[in-house]
Chain A
Amino acid sequence: METREMTCIICPMGCALRVTRDGDTITVTGNTCKRGEKYGIQEMTMPMRTVTTSVTCRGGDRPLVSVKTKDQVPKEKIAEVLEACREASVQAPVRVGDVILADAAGAGSDVVATCNADAV
């Protein structure tokens, strides 16, 4: 049996959740709404995050291009995604949505540009 305390982030109430996993059964207490329960279960089983960072831009009007994972990735994959982005670079021009890294670090999401960079 595993129990974790966490703050619900769904609304400003910030309910103090107590999430318990007993075999396949997960129980959430401390929540005041249904969405809190869902959040608790997700955080217990597979917490997901969007990663935002930047990559080096070559030949552009700026030194960096900001990027994000197009979809959320498992929390434990964040470090690997960041490292992949740190190693990456992109040639200008770049447009919002351009894929910079496909399935970055095998985390299940493309990394895409979130800003434009013009070539200079």
Chain B
Amino acid sequence: MNKLNFLQPDKNNLSTYLYTGVFLVALSIFIVFLNSFFNKDLISFLPGTISFFLPLILGFIGLHLIRIDYSGLKFLDKVNKNINTNNFNAFLSLLIVFVIIKSLPPLLSWFILDANIAGDSKDVCTGSGACWTYIKIWFNRFMYGMYPNAEQWRINLSFIALAFLGTIGFFATEKFKKYLTLYYVVIYPVIAFFFIFFFISGGPIFFDFSYGIIAAVISIIIGFFIPSKFKMYYFIIVPITLYILLKYVFFYEELIELGKLEALEWVETGAWGGLSLTFIVSFFCLIFCFPIGLFLSLGRRSDFPIIKYFSIGMIEFWRGVPLITVLFMSSVMFPMFLPEDMFIDKLVRVIIAISLFEAAYVAEVIRGGLQALPRGQYDAAKSLGMGYWKMHILVILPQALKLVIPGIANTFLALVKDTPLIFVVGLLEIVGMLNLAKTNPEWLGFAMEGYVFASVLFFIICYAMSKYSYNLEQKYKTER
């Protein structure tokens, strides 16, 4: 039997040190656990200060005893390497474990054990926990804002359709793969625009949407019989002509008469709200701010002074003003500069404002990527006879954008989380609806539940985005 030295545990008496150490650690955790979950204090007989620190001291000694290098036990080595490398880390590890154990019971009781979800009025919320009834009752408003209940299927249908159209890329066959970029960059946003601004909005303008759909369907059907040589021109000219014919020549007068009766009910954008508005605003701002930012970043590096200084001016201006003032100006100041009879919807103005604002950030992020590329890449592309656009589209941007995926994701996440600011112009997305519900006299005092709910939703959205950006990074990783 080797001599035991408790100051320097070694491998020779492995089991002795291990059992003593594990016992001490387990004991310390047990004491804290009992104290936290069952309110029993095993060591209450000790003086106050000591009884407070005793678990920490016990656990600390225990961790010291099991800190044996190359013990041969896989699990022990792993523990030592990750949480028990030295005294300080052992101390921190213990502290974190204790804090988690200590904070679990109150959290559990607030979220689940003492919480209420049954019933449909404030009166059922008698417990000390959260009142999920509040969320349940207001759920509809949090999702759709003031959008009329009877018409909410339009939002659902649009979102489902758009989600479906968005996943089309996964099902595309080899033949159509090369059109995917075009589809996602141009066609999909246009479809989304039609859906959201005509279908969700409804009203007389809905006919535009219907005409568009009819024109598209008719031209696609006829399109099958057109020789492929002319298809390109055909699909540019015919749908637009059809649309104009439908709108102004064939059915215009009659449908205007009938229209108000048969069209979808008009829902003004002021009534849109809740999470669906968050999605709409985020979606369009993301789609618009990226190309604008891209062009600004290229413009800033341009040799033409006009383009260059215009880009610099745009970037510095939008970066230099707070978003909240931009939104305020877009809604209050901007209409003053417009002709009397011209009207641009509030939501459209807000989306333009946020897009321009975030585009400035995107531009600088992309510029960082452009500057990270060695000059040789430009030289090589030029020496192969590529002009400015070919060089950038084929060689420079694919590499630069890949480099800045984390930065772009950062900006996009910030954008999504900035959307609540649109409350300053009276648009209430989910956080705005929360604030409204919070001040409802029937439901005072449930701000906490609301904010927790919104946080969880935002976290899910943002975490999904950040995961997606990480996947993209992995997908485009070609360098070793």
**Do A and B come from the same complex?**
no
Q: Could you list which residues of chain B lie within 8 angstroms of chain A, going by C-beta atoms?
A: none
A interface vs B, CB < 8 Å? Answer: none
